[in-house]
A and B are shown apart, each in its own frame.
Chain A
């Protein structure tokens, strides 16, 4: 019994070391990438003799990069709206009552999240051609929306399962028909989950390469553009674009996490 605290302390130190090794492993590449975006030389590597913001100036002056940014954001927003609408709908349907075939429907709903990206991308491509859908924005939005629905369903269902049955009954008791009760009671309760799921969908869509690559037309999304630029050789301009994208997504992610946590605590 007496040596247990000692053992525990040893464990803690070991766990701490492993943790910091992990953090380094994850962040060193990111830090290097960010640093190279400020280096006053086309050659990527140490030492850095002088610093510059030229690459950033170049990126912000490059209309192609800027319009691609906008294009990616538009795709992310539209596909997110569709996934949230469809996902919430399915979640409410699945959670509201137990019916035969519910596990099957749930399984089919979640499946798109588990199919490897490359396979679903090729399948979408074939399906789109068969339906006569031209590659381009619509096709990308469609594939992103389908891929993201399972995440919305899972998050919203988890939240919905914590809504006491008496809440809906109380609303009905006070004169609300099922639709009014849903809009006035259930939806506000789901807002934190829907917001969280939306942010997740936005980031997933913004980040997606495979589907965007296979279903894209002549206009590239940001990851596709970066890929194209890489083929003509590594440039610090890419580091600058990546750094901007990194700050944006990390910022949104952190804000959303804190925001939804606070909202859940309030309700």
Chain B
């Protein structure tokens, strides 16, 4: 982010529709070559941002700079930005080849150059055999590839993808995720991907921006977001987690000290600290809990009892009741061997303070 002229600079962008605020003061730099995902529930402002970048909406305030040039008021046809639409928006009266050539023709390319470029891109996306077909004669996955080919053909500086995997079935989606990521690497294009699917975001992105109610919640790598969520919203939106709600005690050696169910726990500090005695919550991922017969020497530890086990194939999910009267529940993922070792006797559950993120609510 120290790049003097990033490929895309989003500067104080807001969008209001009447009284509804779709986007509130978003500022962001995207360097060339990144796979950036905008993640969030519907109405979080991710699609609005995408449509502003594509030129389909004008922001209420703020600017969009592309390669240092202000494009905020440029119509879509003037921008070096192409989009893969959610419904693909392939032109039904044109063949696959004609669909792909459309953007090239409008760039004013010569006949031979168009043919060369479109067959190059069709070969790249393994569409050579479908050039003469019409979109209606293709399967969902093939249509998705044609939409991608059509958007990549004019060689855009930025490619926008609006939930392009939503219409595919679950099995195909996994495969296309890998494909998309590898296409992005091989073309070295900047991808701006919008989705509400956290799994999609985690598998493909170099960087995820989590949006909520028109605001940016967190901006980071998938690992950062998953293991060091900055807010309760991010922790709950990405994967499953144990949320421990306790009371703030203070800080000690860069760590937060908090009380939870009569036990003192330590965790990583958030950006802003809650005051002493204030309620505070913390997130521990299910796979970060360890099981011990004796109280572990270091780290956080609580005593509990396994009350339910669920077999998930590659691993087991355990439900643990904490405290004498089972005041709190924890969930954990363990391998099958560990789960066999753990009976119904009381057991010590431990985790590294580095794996517990104290959250801003």
Contacts and interface: CB of A to CB of B under 8 A. Distances in A.
A180 B106 contact: yes
8 contacts: A169-B85, A172-B55, A174-B150, A174-B151, A175-B77, A176-B102, A176-B106, A267-B92
A167 interface: yes
B85 A174 contact: no
Nearest to A263: B93
Contacts of A167: 89, 91
Interface string B74-114: 01110001110111011111000000001100110000000
Contacts of A173: 54-55, 76-77, 81-83, 151
Interface of B: 54-56, 75-77, 81-83, 85-87, 89-93, 102-103, 106-107, 134, 136, 150-151, 154
A174 B103 contact: yes
A100 B92 CA distance: 33
A175 B154 contact: yes
A267 B91 CA distance: 9
B56 A267 contact: no
Interface string A135-168: 0000000000000000000000000000010110
Interface string A39-72: 0000000000000000000000000000000000
A93 B207 CA distance: 43
A29 to B, nearest CB: 43
Contact of B77 (A176, A189, A266): A176
Given A175-B103, A176-B77, A180-B106, A170 B83 contact: yes
Given A188-B93, A189-B93, A267-B93, A172 B77 contact: yes
Given A166-B86, A169-B76, A175 B91 contact: no
A204 interface: no
A180 B106 CA distance: 9
Interface of A: 164, 166-167, 169-177, 180, 184-185, 188-189, 266-267
Contacts of B86: 166
B117 to A, nearest CB: 13
A15 to B, nearest CB: 36
B91 A185 contact: yes
Nearest to B82: A173
Given A164-B87, A166-B85, A167-B89, 11 more contacts: A164-B89, A169-B54, A171-B91, A172-B75, A173-B81, A174-B151, A176-B102, A189-B92, A189-B93, A266-B92, A266-B134
A187 to B, nearest CB: 10
B217 to A, nearest CB: 28
Nearest to A180: B106
A96 to B, nearest CB: 15
A164 B55 CA distance: 18
Contacts of B107: 175
Contact of B56 (A164, A169, A174): A169
A164 B76 CA distance: 17
A166 B154 CA distance: 19
B54 A166 contact: no
A233 to B, nearest CB: 55
A171 B154 CA distance: 13
A138 B134 CA distance: 44
Contacts of A177: 75, 77
Contacts of A266: 92, 134, 136
A177 to B, nearest CB: 6
B92 A174 contact: no
B76 A172 contact: yes
